[in-house]
Amino acid sequence: MKIELVEEVPSTNEYIRRYLSGGENVVVCAKRQSAGKGTKGRTFLSEEGGVYLSALTFYQDLPSREAFRVMMHAAVAVCKTLEVYGCSPEIKWPNDVLVNGRKACGILIENILEGDKLKASVVGIGLNVQNDVSALNGIAFSLNEVVPDISVEEVRNTLLQNLNKQTSFSAYQQYVRLGKVTVEENGESYDALALGVLEDGRLKIQVDGRERTLSSAEIRRIS
């Protein structure tokens, strides 16, 4: 697979779009981003010291309803990477990766659809390694807290290797945090019990004694 290393771009997710017409899988890694993109239109702090990469993958015949597999694969690859360095990662459904309850990594997936098929996906991953996250009010985790002299290049290579491996739904399930959560949905929030993830990626929850599923909501663990 082609891998391009760049010093700085506004966003690897944007930069990689130049390869969309080529049909070849490619990964772009940047040392820093000047306008890193987060989910829900947020910005993603991308100072030197983190791993910032986007992987463009083309698919032959993947129904769009299976897009969850792309997200699952990325989140598991990040968890496996963090484990190599002695961390015990957890996935905050659907795809935030936490260590010690703090966010170690953000994943932004942008899918290119053709009819009801997933033609390609851009998987953007930002992993804190040697960057100073102290400005983020204790909500972020950086790998150098566990391995102080860790090399960003080494972590990047471990992540790339893990992205190249197959993952299973059971591996994803094993990392997902269950239990008490606060669900933030359509501007409202309520307490619920996360019971498990279904194969299509939906989260099964219990609210006021009744079960329901969530397909896209922001959840926050409260205990």
Nearer to ligand BTN, 69 or 156 (CB): 156
**Beta strands 50-63 and 117-128: pairing type?**
antiparallel
- Number of chain residues interacting with ligand BTN (CB under 6 A): 20
**Beta strands 210-214 and 203-207: pairing type?**
antiparallel
Angle between helix 68-84 and helix 152-163 axes, rounded to 10 deg: 140
Nearer to ligand BTN, 106 or 201 (CB): 106
3 state DSSP class of 127: strand
User: Minimum distance from CB of 170 to ligand BTN (Å)?
Assistant: 24
Enumerate the β-bridge partners of residue 194. Answer: 179, 205
Task: Write each residue from 119 to 158 as x if it is in contact with ligand BTN (CB under 6 A), else as -, in one continuous string.
Answer: -----xxx--------------------------------
Q: Which stretch binds ligand BTN (CB under 6 A): 37-45, 69-77, 178-186, 196-204?
A: 37-45
Q: Report if residue 108 touches ligand BTN, rule: CB under 6 A.
A: yes
| Calculated CA dihedral for residues 146, 31, 172, 203, nearest 10 degrees | 110
Token output for 58: 């083309």
Taking CB atoms, the residue at the shortest distance from ligand BTN is 106
Choose, by CB under 6 A, the member of 27, 31, 45, 52 that binds ligand BTN: 52
Q: Report if residue 54 touches ligand BTN, rule: CB under 6 A.
A: yes
Q: Which stretch binds ligand BTN (CB under 6 A): 19-27, 48-56, 78-86, 172-180?
A: 48-56
Residue with structure tokens 């950086």? 142
Nearer to ligand BTN, 139 or 207 (CB): 139
**Beta strands 26-33 and 2-9: pairing type?**
parallel
User: Minimal CA–CA distance to 49: which of 27, 30, 29, 31?
Assistant: 31
Nearer to ligand BTN, 42 or 220 (CB): 42
Residue 97 · residue 142 · CB < 8 Å: no
Q: Report if residue 94 touches ligand BTN, rule: CB under 6 A.
A: no
Q: Report if residue 106 touches ligand BTN, rule: CB under 6 A.
A: yes
Element (H, E) at 56: strand 50-63
Q: Report if residue 38 touches ligand BTN, rule: CB under 6 A.
A: yes
